[in-house]
Structures are given as structure tokens and as C-alpha cells.
Amino acid sequence: MTDKIDGPTGGPFSAQDLEARTFAPLEFIVDGLIPIGLTVLAGAPKVGKSWLSLDIALSVARGTAVLDEGVHRCGQGAVLYLALEDSERRLQGRLKQLLGEGPAWPRNLFFETAWPRMDADGLERLDRWVGETEGARLIVIDVFQKFRSLGSQAGYQQDYRDLAKLLDLARRREIGIILVHHLRKSGGGDPFERVTGSAGFLGVPDTNMVLDKGRAGTRLLAQGRDIEEFVREVTFDPLALRWRLAQPRSIVKYPERARILDILLASAVPSSAGNIAEQTGQTVNAVSRMLGEMLAEGKIVKAGWGRYIGKPTDNLAAGNQNAQSDQNDQNAQNERRARSHLSGSGTSP
């Protein structure tokens, strides 16, 4: 973060002024994934977003890594975790499960299970905590709904005001703020479109992350102003109680299409756009458009009027072709034996 550039009169600055300006490298809370600023981490209830946010908080406090050991490392600093849906007993239990009898519990990871809403001194108290805490680096608010301004169901304007105030705090104090938030159960094919609330939740934060659980598994998706788009399959390690990167099967450029393909491959019969829309929460028109694109790209196969099947892999296709060839040979042999039997010139089959 740097000072604002001002022109000669303290007003607008020129492109030439901007050209001469040097900026410090962008600083990350989690390398390559969460930069300094405001981040929204959304997921469906019980999907495991609190485990992920607690892991991030713990990793920042200890200066270790999230998701893997080689790429997503965390710079060490003090963390304040507002666990607004938890009790002290539950937090202690989770940390015992995560840390066991191993490393000492960090002294720079702080918890609160109750906190004023942001329009009732909550925001000012966060600002004071940062100012009074040496090495303050990250604030996690789990969940945002219990912290945001009272009566915040007013739509885009209120969403924008609440999020913009937190964004300003994060940038001014040069820290990270993560808001744990919810997804709607249904909505558009793009998981980001299912984030609860108005478009403010996608437009204001520096980074948006979604923990999206589907029939084929769970993916972590991230988009932001200062990061490359991130889409990776993740798995929850039941022994370590941590989210890990799964072994990549492929890079999913269009997650909504990947969900459609998963449904087609899992179905025993051809599916229509309407069938798929019911399972994904997308509109029939959106599904029909994507089916047309996937058909043109050779990703799926048309199996009758308005019905589709997933295109099998090359190995599976080769196996099916061999099986079909064997079946054709068997049918021809049976036909020859039947003709011979009917003419009386051979033995009975």
C-alpha cells in the first residue's frame, strides 16, 4: 500500500505523475490467493467454510501454509477471529483437534464469541484492535450476518455501505479482513451468483471465494482484482481436519459447464435441459445455451430430440467400441447358426 498521488494542487494527478510513481509489491495474507484487503468467503451451511477460515487464521498466526505446503504460504502476524456462532468450548475443541499435543498454541491468535454490530461501535472496536495490537495482520468475521449493520436487509445500497467501510479499514490499516458468508441453495450456474445478498457482495470486495460442494466433489473458486482466477478441487482431510488441494484432474475453466457434464456422465439415461436445470438451479435457457456450446465443442453427444449424454473419455470410448465390435461378431455368428439350423444343414445351436 502507498500514499495517494496528488497533482500540483492536491487534486487530480496526471498520467505522467502516475508513470513516475513507484509502488511496493502487492502483499498477500495467503500467497497467490488472499491479498491485503477485503475478502468474502462464501459457502453453503455445513460445507466446512468455518474449518477453512479457522485454518487460515491459525496458519497466519503461525506463519505456515494453507491447502498445501509449497504454494499458499502465509506471512506471520496477529489474528483476531470473531467466532460469532461458536462458544469457547467449541473453539477449544476444534483447536485441540487441529493442534493436538503438537505445537504450542499461538499467543497471537485472539478470539471473541460476541462483538457489537458494525453500526454499534463494532467497526471502531476493530480499528482500535488493529492499532493496539503489534503485528496485526488478519481479522476473520464468522459469520458476517451477525456483524453487519442492524436492518441490513435493505439491498444493494446497504450492502455496499457495509462492505465499503470494511474495505476502507482493511486498506487503511494494510491488513486482511475475511467475511465468512452464505450461499443460496439455488440460483445461477455460476457459484458466485449464489452468494447471499445483492451484487454488492461481488463488486465491493477485493477478493471473492466460494467453497462449492457438488455431486462430483468440492471446489474452491476465487476471483479478485489482484489475483489470477483460481478453481481447484479440494478435499477435507478427516485426520488433520484441514482442507487440502486434491490431485488435479483438469483445469476447469467453466465451472457451470463442468457441473452439467458431471450430471450427464452420472445419468443412466440421456438428460434434457429441463432435467439439468432442476438439479443445478440454473434457468432452462442458460442450460440450453451451454449445452449447445458444449455440443459444438464436442464435449457432449446428442442422443435424440433435446436430450444429451456426456462424452466418455478416449479409453472408455475405445472400450465401448471394442465391446460393440465383439457384440456384432457374436450377433453375426448367431445369425449364421440360426440359418444353418433352419435349412437342416447343420447342428442345432
* pLDDT higher than 80, residue 348: no
Query: How high is the pLDDT of residue 289?
Result: 83
Query: How high is the pLDDT of residue 155?
Result: 83
Identify the residue with better confidence: 142 or 331.
142
* pLDDT higher than 60, residue 318: no
Q: Per-residue pLDDT averaged across 335-343, rounded? A: 42
CA gyration radius for the chain? 27
Q: Per-residue pLDDT averaged across 49-54, rounded? A: 94
CA distance 182 to 141: 13
Query: What would the pLDDT profile of 155-179 be if each residue is shown by its tens digit?
Result: 888 899 999 999 999 999 999 999 9
pTM of the predicted model as reported, rounded to 2 decimal places: 0.69
Choose the most confident range, by mean pLDDT, from 13-27, 89-103, 125-139, 302-316: 125-139
Residue 341, C-alpha cell as written in the block: 439350423
Query: How high is the pLDDT of residue 343?
Result: 43
Tell the burial category of 2 from Cβ atoms under 10 Å away from its Cβ (0-12, 13-18, 19+).
exposed
Nearest to 222 by CA among 45, 66, 59, 25: 66
* pLDDT higher than 50, residue 319: no
Query: How high is the pLDDT of residue 312?
Result: 62
Query: How high is the pLDDT of residue 186?
Result: 66
99 to 113, 171, 220: CA distances (angstroms):
20, 32, 24
Query: How high is the pLDDT of residue 187?
Result: 59
* pLDDT higher than 50, residue 233: yes
Range of lowest pLDDT (84-88, 99-103, 233-237): 99-103
* pLDDT higher than 60, residue 2: no
**Cα 334 to the chain's mean position, in Å?**
55
* pLDDT higher than 90, residue 338: no
Q: Per-residue pLDDT averaged across 10-21, rounded? A: 86
**Cα 165 to the chain's mean position, in Å?**
24
CA distance 54 to 94: 9
Range of lowest pLDDT (8-17, 41-50, 236-245, 247-256): 247-256
Residue 98, C-alpha cell as written in the block: 487441529
Identify the residue with better confidence: 290 or 106.
106
